[in-house]
Amino acid sequence: MDEVAGAIADPVRRHILVLLRDGRLSAGEVAERFAISRPAVSRHLRVLRQSGLVRAELVGRQRFYTLDPGPFTELIAWLTPFVRPSGWEHHLDALETEVYRTRRERRDAAADSRKEGTA
């Protein structure tokens, strides 16, 4: 988890991950989108590869990178308890509770009326 958190701490690496979200890109295609040098982009790609967030495939003389979201799982699990539900989520949870309560009351009332009818 520490490697993943360290890898996404840099804004250039986060931008690279966003680019790779849409599909595989060559190292050159990634570098074209930045004002920094190609060697600097290569270093960022290496950090992402070492953290497991991207995979590299060598095709001829080109290296293609693809996103591997698997390593995010542990980080997401750790972060989830810190996220509070938004106002809408809270209201929808309350609505769901009310719907289940109403269904239960109707079911219980129907069961009571059947018992009274058989007595």
Residue 94, pLDDT > 60, answer yes
Across the chain, mean pLDDT equals 86
Q: In this structure, which long-range contacts are made by residues 18-25, counting pairs with CB atoms below 8 Å and at least 24 apart in sequence?
A: 20/54, 20/65, 20/66, 20/67, 21/67, 23/66, 24/57, 24/64, 24/65, 24/66, 25/64, 25/65
Dihedral sign for Cα atoms in the order 9, 72, 59, 23: negative
Is pTM beyond 0.75? Reply is no
More reliable by pLDDT, 94 or 117: 94
Tally: H helices and E strands in the chain: 6, 3
Among candidate residues 16, 35, 14, the one with its CA nearest the CA of residue 26: 16
Query: What are 33-85's pLDDT values in tens digits?
Result: 988 988 898 999 999 999 999 999 988 888 999 999 888 888 888 888 787 76
